[in-house]
Amino acid sequence: MSWTPIIQYSFENHAAIDESGNGNYGLVELPNPNRWIDAPEPGIASAILYDHPQSKITIPTKPTFANWAGFRVNILFKASPYNRRLNLVEGDGSFAFFIEKDGALTGTIFDGNKWYGVASRPGTVLPDRWYFAEFRYDPASIMVLRLNNVRVGLFVSHADPVRPVGSSGIKIGYWPGGDERYTFSGLIGRVSISTLDLERELLNYFGKLICADSMGAVGRLEELLPVFEKELSDQEKQRSEQSTATLLNAVKLTLAATISTSTDVNNTISQLQSLSDRANKLLIQNQQVGTDLFVDPKLKPLLEEGYKLITTTSQNARDTLIAQVIKLLAVRPFSEARLAELLERYPQLKRCATGFGTVISQPDATKGGISDAGKGIADDLEKICRDLWDSCQGNHTDCCDKSTQPSNGGTTANPKVGHHSCSDVHIHINCGEQAK
């Protein structure tokens, strides 16, 4: 993902000076200057000792603390022995990152009615140990917690937007509610907050798409994890979870955009419900006879009907669909070699590993697929290919690997979007470095 830093503190100068260049300086309140601890540990320049209930850093709220597409909070800390919640970083009425009384690292957001989020297992955070913690929230996919670069919590999001930070601002080691009930106890080192850059994120997704040798998407592979649970490494399992989350949220966000921008909401919901009911019925029929829904010719008219409904509802719904298709195509849990190995070992996976790359532009209607609807999406992707080339000439480092070469045929003037979508051509073939 692509992140833009908005707050960065190293505390090297015994002050909360914003090193991100955005001028988001913190107001430090300590009982005594001797609470600044230099070099508390090798590699840590400076830290703040929280040993007073009113110790805090306040970052006054600003207009820029609103309309975040997503966020990532990072903090270095060492907690003293504790028997209550300890706040790490909290934005008033927006998000909270803290340690529960039972030692669970926890990240939550406020949806306007309630707080909810993701937590690690109890006992994860031990006292008197240094940790580098991360709380990441992407409304379009997941909430993630990491501790010393190890994922300790993951939750598929509800797609709730990030609410603006309230009048009490952002507090480090303190509760924005105004009292000392959650004041941190221990040492806090560097802190940073970054926001999700949707434009650059889409560019990165698209870069993965157009610069991959081939796509072989396996978005539905997660369904069969019990078959080869022992076969996958932890990293492969994590990528599979991300793939599944991307697929689920692609559907969720596209439907939300379609409904929210419809001029006849009740009718749109009725049509979507009808499509869902018919698709579920077809799925059950295929399951009963052991066949793959994605090669059933009866699926084609349903997908075309859904595609037409979404793209004619509004430009926003159409754009959302295209963006989500790009994300789905870019998700790649396994390398081609690893996927081939798994398919050889477990032949039953073959009918579930086609993904959008194969289905989206099936040229032979007798074999099922999404011929007409797929062509519509393919046309949109082709336009995006050209637009990206026009806006990105000479600066392809932002969106692809320089070493990637075109796999066949296409040209920058005519990027192919077919069986392997945009991966059939390396759009940046004419950028500064020649393809090898």
- Position 20 scores a pLDDT of 92
Residue 343 has pLDDT above 80, yes or no: no
* Residues 6+ away with beta carbon under 8 Å from 74: 132, 133, 134, 190, 191, 192, 193, 194
Of 20-24, 243-247, 297-301, 407-411, minimum mean pLDDT range: 407-411
Q: Which residue has the higher pLDDT, 45 or 269?
A: 45
How would residue 296 be classed by pLDDT, with cut points 50, 70 and 90? confident
What SS3 class is residue 219? coil
Greater confidence (214 vs 253) lies with 253
Q: Which domains does the chain have, with CATH numbers?
A: 3-196 (2.60.120.200), 200-430 (no CATH)
Predicted pLDDT at 347: 63
Q: Residue 420 pLDDT more than 60?
A: no
408 with 377: CB under 8 angstroms? no
Question: What does the pLDDT read at residue 245?
Answer: 66
Q: Which residue has the tokens 């909360």?
A: 16
Judge whether residue 369 has pLDDT over 70. no
Q: Determine the pLDDT at residue 201.
A: 58
Tell me which of 7-11, 46-50, 100-104, 308-312 is least confident.
308-312
Residue 244 scores a pLDDT above 80: no
Nearest-CA neighbor of 96 among 25, 5, 3, 184? 184
Give residue 207's pLDDT.
46
pLDDT tens for residues 127-155?
999 999 999 998 766 788 999 988 898 88
Residues 6+ apart with CB under 8 A from 211: 399, 400, 401, 404, 423, 426, 428
Q: Output the pLDDT for position 273.
A: 78
Distance from C-alpha of 415 to C-alpha of 423, rounded to nearest angstrom: 9
Long-range contacts of 389-395 (CB under 8 A, 24+ apart): 389/415, 389/427, 389/428, 392/203, 392/427, 392/428, 393/430, 393/431, 394/431, 394/432, 395/431
pLDDT (0 to 100) of residue 253: 76
Q: Is the pLDDT of residue 45 over 60?
A: yes
Looking at residue 195, what is its pLDDT? 93
Tens digits of per-residue pLDDT, 57-98?
A: 999 999 999 989 889 999 999 999 999 999 999 999 999 999
- Looking at residue 261, what is its pLDDT? 82
Average pLDDT for 155-175? 89
Question: Comparing 44-48, 292-296, 399-403, which segment has the lowest mean pLDDT?
Answer: 399-403
Report residue 303's pLDDT band, with 50, 70 and 90 as the boundaries.
confident
- What b/e readout covers 211-243, taking b as 16+ CB neighbours within 10 angstroms? bbeebbbbbbbbebeeeeeeebeeebeebbbbb
Burial class of residue 373 in the structure, from the number of CB atoms within 10 Å of its CB (0-12 exposed, 13-18 middle, 19+ buried): buried
Average pLDDT over residues 428-436: 32
What is the arithmetic mean of pLDDT over 224-249? 65
Taking only the tens place, the pLDDT of each residue in 107-133 is 999 989 999 999 999 999 999 999 999
- Per the prediction, the chain carries an average pLDDT of 74
Question: In percent, how much of the chain has pLDDT > 70?
Answer: 62
pLDDT at 386: 54
| pLDDT at residue 331, rounded to an integer | 65
What is the reported pLDDT for 260? 77
pLDDT band at 300 (very low <50, low <70, confident <90, very high): confident
Instruction: Write down the pLDDT at residue 324.
Output: 74
